[in-house]
Amino acid sequence: MLLIGFLGHQPLQFIWILLIFGLSNLKGIQCITSVGSCRATNVSLTDYGGVGDGVTLNTKAFQSAVANLSRFASTGGGLLYVPAGRWVTGSFNLTSNFTLYLHRDAVILGSPDINDWPLIDPLPSYGRGRDAPGGRYSPLIFGSNLTDVVITGDNGTIDGQGKPWWEKYKAGKLNYTRGYMIELMFSDRFVISNITLMNSPSWHVHPVYSSNVIVSGITILAPTNSTNTDGINPDSCSNVLIEDCYIVSGDDCVAIKSGWDEYGIAFGMPSQHIIIRRLTCISPTSATIAMGSEMSGGIQDIRAEDILAINTESAVRIKSAVGRGGYVRDVFVRRMNLKTMKYVFWMTGDYGDHPDDRYDPNAVPVIERISYSDIVAENVTLAGQMQGTQNVKFTSLCMSNVSIGVVDSKKKAVAWNCTDVEGVASSVSPPACGLLRDEGDGHACPFPVDRLPIEDFEVDGVCKSGGNLLRAWESLLLHGVLLSLAVLHLLHV
């Protein structure tokens, strides 16, 4: 009766009370409402005993949470929320129809104990570990034969704590290959977005034998003297989009691969239909974009544009060797802005790093139809270091509208060093080497105009905290107003 009396005189005040009551509970449900619309079932790592104190090992908590959420793969999927805190863990596997979501103040820390990274088999297209013969340590975050997997957040962090691994590797104290930070094998529909990755023991992001992969809006940070800390390495993958990423590393910022010598040839899965755009790269000892050297399954249809590289050894590097076989073809690069580097264009036909002595000396790679256009570089040591394979030249190279500021040298060193390559050049300064036929001004190198399907691809489990949090507020406001209006309507009835 008191409530009815109050409503009779103060209906607007009651509406505000309902709203304030609802909004006062927003903080308690934020971890669900802010990310909950992208999967049907949401849990927090703390629900499984996770402790974010930077000391407690949370491997079992991650494993248990993922195992539980795997039960919901066919009924809307599951989301594992990692709250603010520092969550130490060893390796754990993901599941299908799954989202791993990190709070902005969440840090997943790779365990410093090597025993928390179990050994697994080498990749079949490599035949052995990349660092050493035999097996390899499991990636920190791993999955195989999965569909619809998302790793995202409000720019939370995954830190591999790789320094002990780098030191052991350099000292020759590791008998197996270092684990990668994130690897999905034989998987489809894989997205990484809006997170920071740091200090992986080796490569940071390694999709392999997978399709429909999107890496968007991530930051990768590792010391520039760290060993093999590549940024993003699509490996025997099709339909890949890499965009809006900032990478500082001790190795290639992006490296496209497809298997190693006879093992890659036998496996026969190319990397193809790959887009790289709006990338910022810093890597003083490696490439902005590399293809190879493990390219025995083939690499084709690579489209890179709008790239900024600062203090990087080279802009684009193609690495191959006799024994690799395979091919690199239909590579299109445009609109690169380059500041301080050793080489702009670097092609190597004698990158003779082999897994064993069983490679085929007659397996000569084919490098053809490589196009570069609209490139500006300053403070460069050598415009191009391009050395093909003696028995099979690198062919159909094209360069147009390229301006390179080569640093003056007292030795008056040449700007280009080219052997066993052929192609055309137009509006290139300083003038390209004589093996690239001068087409005069106005000749434009090709860049595809069609749109690849990956550019329009959508994955169900992607969620953005800001948008969903706004929708949570809207929902509370709407429900408060509707409830208040309903009560008022009943009173008047």
Q: Which residue shows structure tokens 């949090």?
A: 469
Cα dihedral 260→305→231→225 (10° resolution): 100
CA dist., res. 462 & res. 478, Å (int): 25
288 within 8 A of 254, measured Cβ to Cβ: yes
Pairing outcome for strands 85-89 and 106-110 = parallel
Distance separating alpha carbons of residues 360 and 355, to the nearest angstrom = 12
330 is annotated as an active-site residue: no
Map the chain to HEC letters.
Answer: CHHHHHHHHCHHHHHHHHHHHHHHCHHHHHHHHCCHHHCCEEEEHHHHCCCCEEEEECHHHHHHHHHHHHHHCCCCCEEEEECCEEEEECCEECCCCEEEEECCCEEEEECCCHHHCCEECCCCCCCCCCCCCCCEECCCEEEECCEEEEEEECCEEEECCCHHHHHHHHCCCCCCECCCCEEEECCEEEEEECEEEECCCCCCEEEECCEEEEEECCEEECCCCCCCCCCECCECCEEEEEEEEEEECCCCCEEEECCCHHHHHHHCCCEEEEEEEEEEEECCCCEEEEECCCCCCCEEEEEEEEEEEECCCEEEEEECCCCCCCEEEEEEEEEEEEEEEEEEEEEECCCCCCCCCCCCCCCCCEEEEEEEEEEEEEEEEEEEEEECCCCCCEEEEEEEEEEEEECCCCCCCCCEEEECEEEEEEEEECCCCCCEEECCCCCCCCCCCCCCHHHHCCCCCCCCHHHHHHHHHHHHHHHHHHHHHHHHHHHHC
d(CA 233, CA 284): 18
154, 251, 252, 420: which one is catalytic?
Answer: 251
Look at residues 104, 151, 217, 189 and name the one whose alpha carbon lies nearest to residue 466: 104
The distance of Cα 4 from the centroid of its chain, to the nearest Å, equals 59
CB 230 within 8 A of CB 255: yes
User: Which residues carry out catalysis?
Assistant: 251
